[in-house]
Each structure stands twice: as structure tokens, then as C-alpha cells.
Structure 1
């Protein structure tokens, strides 16, 4: 297996004049971009950074960030990206935990870095106009140097992503060059990407989906079209102007695109492939997207930072809710809830915990400096994902949520995802999230938080659930109308906030 630095050089030599990266008015071919990346590799060496060192990045999806990712692969450094919205204490935590030797950031994260105590003792490099005593990343990229040569092997560490940390401090997930490249190759194959595809680079480079898009683009002589911060109007303008051919987004972003007043089929006419991951997509949203885009391919990816692709479904609308079958580099099973090994399998239709084989080429090997978490998740050569799901009679996987999200009401297990998919098909429901709230009699009651697109009452929604065939014990017993459903920066539903009462009740009924 090639290391990623050698892989990039192969792409440069194969397609030196092809568009490699675009960021606003800036377009660079592979040859032009590699010259700048090589200058950056030289600059990283001048800073005293050595193979095996971690570098923390706190940046949006700008071309300098993508360049740094590739420069680190060539220099043998371990890219350790975090959310550009991180607070000072989060920067401190990541710097201390990863033992990073430098921090790279930009204007939107400058305040957090400048008030981070740990960052003041490290080299600080800023994209754009440098200030506050930081060195300039832009100056490093504009220098000149001989073409860079790879200083890492396929067995070296490439990247360390941090998990979202919804219940505890984020966990570092270190990944090797070979695992990263295997994942990128599988992504190309499973999405049927052609030579020269153009990908909208909006999923952040601190997230597995953003990294996947960046690496996969390079393998096919394709272009990574940067979108620094998601907004629907800007996304539609970029898609049309740069003739983006494929989208790989979380369902929330698709929802915002398809419901925006500026959306037209003409603006997205160049898009032939849709892919989503990061969360389940409701039946209603999937139908709207399929009708609006009429894509050649509509792919559901189910995976994680630890394993990347677990399963893949290349025709998601054919069986809404299905996550498909094991990806090219993986073997997936469902075991009974509470099982300690992967030998006892759940029966078709029986809900259990999803486990992934650690021999898979994309799999991680354990958490960074977290032996307890590693021991809990890695058992007998399998990764216990903490996700619940089941295989149907055809052998297709359905992911029903997190084990912690399961609602037990009156002794019955209710999957929030199933109830959400049912309610999403009502024309007056713009968005919906389902949780279990404490109840003295039932333990928990199924509660639906609904963002309305037009007037609708609880009785209407309950009647819809009855006629759709949803079992009585799964029907919501309470409805709450809200202005917005709380989500993470990458669009993941934050059920815990609803349970904790951290939401904005509807301020005005829809007209």
C-alpha cells in the first residue's frame, strides 16, 4: 500500500494540468498546487517539526487547510484537526491530549487560540493575514522549494480525528496512512466516481466525511471545491459555477438545500451523484431529493471515525432506511444487546448492537491514550460501535440509533429513527426528532419535537401515525412544536439537548 505522500505525487504526475483545488477565485492545477505544498513541507521542516509530531489545526475548509493536510502527509506529521468553533478550553484539551508541537488556525479561531494557555507555548501559524505574533501560513505556501519527497511509510500515523464527545471528553482516533488510503479507494469504488469528478468540499476537514472527500478527489484527478462555511445560497452558487458533480453531505445540509427558496434544478444540473452519512435520512427527505436531483447514484454510507465505511447502499431510495451491506473493506454483524463477543448473532429482525471486524483495511486500532475506552469498544477482534440496528430478511442492515437513544416505554423498545421516518412523511412536518422523556407510569414516553412547515395539530399527526401502520406503543404520546431542532456543527441531531430541555419552543404558528 502506498503512503499518502507518494499517492499524491502519483496523482500530480498523472494529471499535472487538471484542476485540483478551488477556493473562491483561486483555482490550482495539480502541478501548481504541488509546488505550493512542497514549499509548505519545507517550511514545516524549518519550524523544527519532525516525522511523528502532531500538529493541531483549527481551520475552516479553505485551500490553505487542505494544503496543510497534504503537506503533513509528505512530511510524516500527524494532522490533528478540531472544530474551528472550538472554545479556548477545548483548544487546551486537544493540545495537551495530542501533545501537539504546533497549532495552525485562522481569523475565526484566532480568539480561541490567543486565549488558550497551552497555545502560547507553541509555534502558532495563521492562515490569511497573520496577527498576534503568529507566523504566516500564506507566506509559507508562497515560498519556493524543491519538489517534496515522502518521509512517511504506509505504516506511519497520518491523522488523528477526535470523536464528538457527546457524553465525555473527546477521544482521539489515530489512523495510519494505509487505512486512510484504503478508505479513500473504497470511497471512489463505492460511489462509482469517474476520472475528474468535482466534489463540494463543505464537510469539515476535522470530520471523517471531509477528509474522505479530499483524499478521494486526489485519486481520480478530481477537484476539491472548498466551501469554507455552509450557507445554502453560497453552496448553490458554488455548485453551479464550479460544475460540481457529486455531493457527500449529512442529511441536515440536504434538507436545507432542498427547502431553500433559491434552489432550482438548473443550479444543480451538474450533480449526478448524491451520497450521505453521519445520520439517518428520513423517508420524506429522501423522496424529495430523489425527485429534485434525479441522480444516477444515491448512496447511503454508514460508518464512524473509527471504521469509516461499515455498510453501503448504492440505491438508497429503493429501500428507505436501509444502510445496505458491508463495505468493500469490512465485515459487519449484529449481536444481541449486552453481548460481549461477536459469535452469537441476532436473528433477522432482532434489534441488537452493530459490530465491525477490526481486520478491515479501514479500521482503527484503538483510542489515543484511552485504554479503558479501547478495552470497552474493542473485544475479540471486533469493534462494538454502540449503534443499534438489525438485518432484515434480505440481509440489509437498518441502523436504528445509538444504544443510549433507545426508548424503553412500558417495557417495550422503541427506536426514535422509526418514529421520525414515519412523521417525516407528513407534508406539514419540516423536521422532527423523537426522544424518551421521564414518566412516572411508563418509565419514558415517546415524545416528538416537530418543526412545522404549515399548520398542523397533534391530533393530525397522531392520525397520520395510526394510518401509516406504526405500532400503537411506538406512537408519540406527546408533541412539542419548536422553531429549530438542536444539531451539532456537522448537522448531527442532539437528542440530549431535547431531553435536557435545551430547545426553543415555537414562537409563532406557521401561516
Structure 2
């Protein structure tokens, strides 16, 4: 299914419905479709065509969404880049993409000055006096009607770059079929409907952000754009708009719950909440239940490469559980060896590496320009996620960490997620991340970085707590505790573990 057709259908079904709100500027589906056609027509005249890559360096804005649909109408590929990336990584991405066109705004234009490309793309600026052409000129040069270019289901529609927390970012092309079925699964699994209003706090360069938006667009729902996320902007948005859905990283939920500006009564209007991208502690899950009182609370475990691995909608009974495979997926937990095959499944209760079925219609075909990484990740028809997990007796999945994060201390292996899960239950621990730090005698020692709730918390108290808990062997208990004000996180809210591994007192 052509994504552009999906937006055309939504626009014809309910043309008067509000599609997107940004500040005090609202767009109906009819008005937004006209803007999409104008931009698509103008880009067509500039020579943008099927399979050309269009890079965006923009915040969450109405223009970002309009450009997305215009690119789909042209059969081109939408490539939203994380403008928070290091300049070197960003340059590598743009050179890798070989874009036909780059759209940017004032806050990101300095990033482009130092990037040298073999062939100069067309530069489109949201602001006057920058680039080859401005956004306003695109709108003036186009017409309010434009026939979408025919595309195949397997043609690329969007390419996202992974965060690169453990290495250089990798391009992940996703087809029209991938994104169509991923969005349908997003709607079904989160139980969205046509009356829903989404709080758009996740960036549109992230898979969570793009699928939050697409779900609303498919349903004629309403999407509220926040381009600079802050306590004030969230509080103002919730004050003026009856938001019903929030899909975000755990760090965003933590941020909202800690805010003194956000009215708790407004949060209770949000009936459907979901999180992905990182584990959520039991304490935070409980706080979300108490504050939001949601009808739906979903843990969505997936990746940029395959939108859904598993989901869990029964977090009250099993907090932190990743649940069962999504409606388009199969999952296995296999032996932790580089040469392990999909048939080598581990027993319930044992830790293994998580793999996902590549036959899923949500699955990518391989990394952009990286056949070496594709061969590493895709084997025997399965995608090797790099995650470590274990199944309980009911068959539900729990994620305990990453293969690269396993701490080998002496002859023993320690799963950081297991240790974190125990320490999170201490009443004076706000957040914790466990890593292996180098040690001359043991190779690595288990080190816990703790954000305490009280300043006089001691390593002795935490070690006694771990001993009394009974779920950790002696070799799994941290040998070192470091108390810090906040865990280092990337722009998506994930803990940057390599920073902790290299931490020196």
C-alpha cells in the first residue's frame, strides 16, 4: 500500500477534521493535503523523483510532516536525521545517503556549513535568505493538486539511522509495505481509534516518533506537535488540548511525572500510554499507573530494523515484562554463542540472545550500503537483535541487557539488567545502571552507577539489600558503587553505557 494513498484516503474521509496542531496554528486534513500537494509539485519541478533521498534536519514541525507526505507522493525516500548527533556522525550519514535535497531550519544550518559532499544537493530552508530555495517559495511554486507517482509495495519510503550509541549510525531503509503494516500493528497494539489525540513529544527522526504520527494520520486522529520539549511546553499543551495518547521513552515519562508545572488532572485525560526504547523500572511503572490511571499501558519492544518484536499490556501483573510476540512476529531465545542457530533455544528461566523472524512484514531487508553488517545481523532468516532475554514459565519475555553489555568478571558472566532490577527495588534508589569496569585481577568488576533519592545513601546499605534480596549470587553483587546526579543519556533517552564503562573517579 502506497503511504501517500493512505493520507489521501484520510483527507477525503474527514477533510474538516483537525490533522495537526502546532502552537496556535491548526491544520485540517483538507488544508494539510493541499499543502502536501503544493510541496510535492514544487519538488517535482526541482527534479526530485522516485527513489531520490530527501534529508531533513528539522525539529517536529508541521513542515516536517508536510514534507514527509510530499516525499511519499513523489516515490522518493524520506530521511530524517538526528540533528543532535556528533558533527562527524552527521556528516557520515549525509555522505552515505547522497541526498537529492536537504531541508533545514535556522537551528540546524550551522551543521551543514562544515559538510562537504561529492555532489551539491538542493538546499531548502524554512527561513528566508538561506539555502537555494525557501519553504515559502516551495508553497508558492506548487499547485494544490498533484497526482502521486506509482510505487511498488517494496519500494523504500523512509530511511532512519540508528542512534549509534554502540558504534557509527547505520541506515535502515523501510518500504511502503513495512511502514503500512507497522503502523497498523501500532494502532491495534495500542488500541488507538479515530477520536484519539497524540502528544507528539518523540522526534520524527525516531521510529517511535514517526509511528506515533502515522497512527494518527491513518485514523484521522489529531497530532499535537511540540518542537521544543520542556516542562512549560508540555504543561501548556495539556492545558489547552485534551490529549488522549502518549507514546514515549521511559525518560520522558519520568520527566513529566517529576514536573511541577504539569497538572496531574490533565494527565488523567491521557487514556492510552505506551513506552519503548529502554527498560522502565517497576517504581516508574507503578507511578504511571497511579498518576495517569490509563485504560491501556503498553510496553512495546522493537527496533528501527523491525518495528515490533513483542508487546506487553499487562504490566500491572508483570511490571517490566516485554510480553509475547507482536501480531506480525515470531521470537526465539537461543544460546549465547556467535555461531548459535535458531534451533538452539534455551530453557525457560535461562538467559539467551533474542532473535526475531525476518519473515515479518515489518522487517527491513538490510542496512543501507553495509552488506557486512547485514550479514552479521540477519542469519538463517532471523534477525539477531543483540539483546539478552529470558522467558518465564508462562512464555513471557523479559529483557536483561545487551550481549555487548555482559560483564565477564573472572570466570563468571553477569547480566546488568538482572542486577539493575534488584537495585531498583531499593526505596532510596531513583535510577541505576550497571556496567563492567576494567580490573587488573578480575578482568572486569560489576559497577553500579546510582542516582540516589537521599544523599547519605551508602554502598554498604545497597550491598546488604542485595544480600537480603536473595536473587543475586555473590559474584553478581556489585563490587563498586558510584553515586551520580543523573545517568548520561543520548537524545533518545537511552543510557550511554560506554560513558559509564570509561568513567574514572
Do they superpose with TM above 0.5? yes
**CA shift digits 1:192-248 (9 cap, x unpaired):** 112121111111111110111111111111111111132123223213322111111
The Cα shift of 1:322 comes to 0.9
1:303 corresponds in structure 2 to 302
Cα gap change, 1:135 to 1:88, in 2 (>3 Å):
farther
Cα gap change, 1:331 to 1:483, in 2 (>3 Å):
same
**CA shift digits 1:40-68 (9 cap, x unpaired):** 10111121111110011111111111111
Structure 1 position 412 matched with structure 2 position 385: no
Structure 1 position 41 matched with structure 2 position 43: no
1:148 corresponds in structure 2 to 146
1:479 to 472, 481, 484: 481
The Cα shift of 1:251 comes to 0.6
The Cα shift of 1:72 comes to 0.8
Report the 3-state secondary structure (helix = DSSP H, G, I; strand = E; otherwise coil) of the residue aligned with 1:496.
helix
**CA shift digits 1:468-497 (9 cap, x unpaired):** 333133222211111221001010011100
2:128 corresponds in structure 1 to 130
The Cα shift of 1:144 comes to 5.0
The Cα shift of 1:87 comes to 4.6
**CA shift digits 1:18-54 (9 cap, x unpaired):** 1111111111111111111111101111211111100
Cα gap change, 1:103 to 1:247, in 2 (>3 Å):
same
Length-normalised TM-score, structure 2: 0.95
The Cα shift of 1:404 comes to 0.3
2:503 to 474, 493, 501: 501
Contact between 2:269 and 2:292, CA under 8 Å: does it hold in 1? Answer: no
**Hey, what's the Cα distance between the residues in 2 that align with 1:166 and 1:499?**
13
2:328 corresponds in structure 1 to 329
Contact between 1:390 and 1:398, CA under 8 Å: does it hold in 2? Answer: yes
Q: Which moved more, 1:322-331 or 1:137-146?
A: 137-146
The Cα shift of 1:359 comes to 0.6
The Cα shift of 1:120 comes to 8.3
Report the 3-state secondary structure (helix = DSSP H, G, I; strand = E; otherwise coil) of the residue aligned with 1:384.
strand
Q: Which moved more, 1:385-394 or 1:113-122?
A: 113-122
5+ residue gaps, structure 2 = none
1:201 corresponds in structure 2 to 200
**Hey, what's the Cα distance between the residues in 1 that align with 2:142 and 2:123?**
21
**CA shift digits 1:447-484 (9 cap, x unpaired):** 11112222322222223223333313322221111122
Report the 3-state secondary structure (helix = DSSP H, G, I; strand = E; otherwise coil) of the residue aligned with 2:260.
coil
5+ residue gaps, structure 1 = 506-511
Contact between 1:340 and 1:379, CA under 8 Å: does it hold in 2? Answer: no
**Hey, what's the Cα distance between the residues in 2 that align with 1:465 and 1:236?**
39
**CA shift digits 1:237-266 (9 cap, x unpaired):** 213322111111111111111122224321
Contact between 2:38 and 2:143, CA under 8 Å: does it hold in 1? Answer: yes
**CA shift digits 1:93-143 (9 cap, x unpaired):** 22221121111111111100123222982211112x233344212442365
Report the 3-state secondary structure (helix = DSSP H, G, I; strand = E; otherwise coil) of the residue aligned with 1:383.
strand
**Hey, what's the Cα distance between the residues in 2 that align with 1:243 and 1:369?**
44
Cα gap change, 1:320 to 1:473, in 2 (>3 Å):
farther
**Hey, what's the Cα distance between the residues in 2 that align with 1:91 and 1:321?**
34
1:394 corresponds in structure 2 to 394
Q: Which moved more, 1:407-416 or 1:136-145?
A: 136-145
Contact between 1:240 and 1:268, CA under 8 Å: does it hold in 2? Answer: no
**CA shift digits 1:126-171 (9 cap, x unpaired):** 12x2333442124423655142322133221101111122333211
